[in-house]
């Protein structure tokens, strides 16, 4: 069985891309993998993460 998580970068003017990348890498260390990245109607970037629930 899989579990999913939706994350968005925290609003920040400084190093926003680097902070989002660091957040994705932090989740990867916990077993999450990115399955989709998209921008919503407001222009906010979101990432859908997935991992095995019974790990």
pLDDT tens for 1-55 read: 999 999 998 777 788 888 889 999 999 999 999 999 999 898 888 999 999 998 6
User: CA dihedral defined by 28, 34, 38, 42, rounded to 10 degrees?
Assistant: -30
Query: Residue 54: what pLDDT?
Result: 81
Q: Could you tell me the pTM of the whole model?
A: 0.83
Query: Residue 15: what pLDDT?
Result: 84
Q: Which residues of 11-26 are buried (b: 16+ CB within 10 A; e: fewer)?
A: eeeeeeeeebeeebee
């Amino acid at each position: 069985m899989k579990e999913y998580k939706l994350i968005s970068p925290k609003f920040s003017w400084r190093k926003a891309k680097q902070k989002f990348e660091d957040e994705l890498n932090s989740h990867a260390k916990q077993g999450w993998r990115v399955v989709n990245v998209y921008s919503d109607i407001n222009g906010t970037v979101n990432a859908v993460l997935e991992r095995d629930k019974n790990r």
